[in-house]
Amino acid sequence: MEKDSHAEVFSRGYKTFLNACKTERETASRAVEMAREAGFQPLREKQALHPGDKVFTLYKNKAAALFVIGQKSLKTGMRLLCAHTDAPRLDLRPCPLYEKEGLGMLRTHYYGGIKKYQWAALPLALHGVIIKKGGERITVSLGEKEEEPVLYISDLPKHLSAKQAKEPMGEGIDGENLNPVAASLTAEEKQAGLALQKKILSVLKEKYDVEEEDLLSAELEIVPAGKARDAGLDGSLIAAYGHDDRSCVYAGLQAILQLSTPAHTAGLLLLDKEEVGNQGATGMQSRFLENLTARLLHLSGEEGPLAREETLEHSQMLSADVVLAMDPNYPQCFAPGNTAHLGRGPALVKYAGHFGKKDANDANAEFLALLRDVFDAAGVCWQTGEYGITDLGGGGTMAPLPAAYGMETADCGIPLLSMHAPYELASKTDVYEASRAYGAFLASDRAIEQYQ
């Protein structure tokens, strides 16, 4: 029997991670749990920081950061990775319950860029939190275990789809029709005169000890139910919900958890809200990184005028986000010779963006040369990628935001097929090689000045 490859062994931990992390909250909390298990300490408990110290912080239960303090002054710059914890999904509205045509229904508002028709007629799970008045927290996870019910959004039967089938694909299912069925009445319940509304409320009470009003202060997310699965006849791939961007989160975590004292302080930032524009307290547009940098400087005894600005400007960042991979079914949509392929390692992307590089970071040639040296010296299998042929669409990443500090920034992530679909496809070898690439970058002592 052949010994399992490194990528195969690595993929087992990754699948377990995906199954435990279906929301931004679950992802951030599992990340800090893994940090703790690996000996990282809570940043807020530290009085001072020294080379070799490993610290983490969980921010508002949705974002997180891990750092390994380096030998050199923070002001010489950090080596940073940023990945995002959120993924496209359907959120329950604050007042979700209603009754129609004899069925109890749930109202949703979709989050992020989804192809709406992909979310009907498949098993869905409900994940999230309900915070009751006074602060009691109820954690919800329903539909992942065999014995638990799932949610289901209907689609028109084929028999009545003549009109729907003529609609443009993007309009076949409307966002306002993405309402899962929540309950129905049995014959006995009907005979006994039980009202549907009452039944739903008693289920909520029984399962979670909450009233309808408690859903006003809840974050309940509907995601595909079920586990990450090996894919392909040879099992070399993984079909799963949330590869975007939890593949990069996991690859980054494994890289930093195994890092021994680097030359420059190394950090992994796990941010929320990337799929809707990076805003809010837990998105990359926030002051999260600035505030953390100030704190690291303070605890390292390196405060002083411009210390934070210098640290950020001298840092280097890999924006670790997934990349569009060449799809053999639709090759005409992907730029020939410039598209990432599954199985060829993480893709270094000079620019994402759309319609003439709008919203693209467009990494500096100098930094790309530095990264070529870092990856090649570590023997990493890597490739380049782009966001499709011109004027077809494209996509944004977090990269322009850290670049605004003046830090060298480039996109580097794992190629996917069917990005943003309920089940996306990634290659095991790419997740593993990405982790190696991230590890080599975090440990790198290469200065950008050599390339300028």
Which residue number, 200 or 222, has a Cβ lying nearer to Mn ion?
Answer: 222
- Give me the least distance between CB of 321 and Mn ion, in Å please: 4
Q: Considering CB under 5 A, how many residues would be counted as binding Mn ion?
A: 3
Phi-psi region of 237 (alpha: psi -120 to 50; beta: other; left: phi over 0): beta
- Give me the least distance between CB of 171 and Mn ion, in Å please: 22
Binding piece for Mn ion, criterion CB under 5 A, among 57-65, 205-213, 313-321, 354-362: 313-321
Residues ≥6 apart with Cβ < 8 Å to 140: 126, 127, 128, 129, 130, 208, 220
- Give me the least distance between CB of 277 and Mn ion, in Å please: 11
Instruction: Find the binder of Mn ion among 244, 408, 424, 433 (CB under 5 A).
Output: 244
Q: Give the H or E element holding residue 129.
A: strand 124-131
Cα 34 to Cα 53: distance, rounded to the nearest angstrom: 16
Instruction: Find the binder of Mn ion among 144, 272, 321, 408 (CB under 5 A).
Output: 321
Binding piece for Mn ion, criterion CB under 5 A, among 194-202, 225-233, 237-245, 300-308: 237-245
Binding piece for Mn ion, criterion CB under 5 A, among 38-46, 197-205, 234-242, 244-252: 244-252
Cα 433 to Cα 416: distance, rounded to the nearest angstrom: 14
- Give me the least distance between CB of 50 and Mn ion, in Å please: 35
Residues in the chain: 452
Which residues 195-234 are close enough to bind Mn ion by CB under 5 A? Answer: none
Cα 321 to Cα 335: distance, rounded to the nearest angstrom: 19
Which residue number, 15 or 84, has a Cβ lying nearer to Mn ion?
Answer: 84
Residue 22 CA from chain centroid, whole number: 9
Phi-psi region of 342 (alpha: psi -120 to 50; beta: other; left: phi over 0): beta
Which residue number, 245 or 386, has a Cβ lying nearer to Mn ion?
Answer: 245
- Give me the least distance between CB of 384 and Mn ion, in Å please: 18
Which residue number, 53 or 272, has a Cβ lying nearer to Mn ion?
Answer: 272
> Does 245 interact with Mn ion (rule: CB under 5 A)?
yes
Taking CA atoms, 433 is separated from 231, 321, 396, 447, in Å, by 18, 14, 23, 23
Which residue number, 214 or 272, has a Cβ lying nearer to Mn ion?
Answer: 272
Phi, psi dihedrals of residue 217, rounded to the nearest 5°: -115, 65
Binding piece for Mn ion, criterion CB under 5 A, among 175-183, 314-322, 331-339, 400-408: 314-322
Which residues sit at the interface with Mn ion, rule CB under 5 A? 244-245, 321
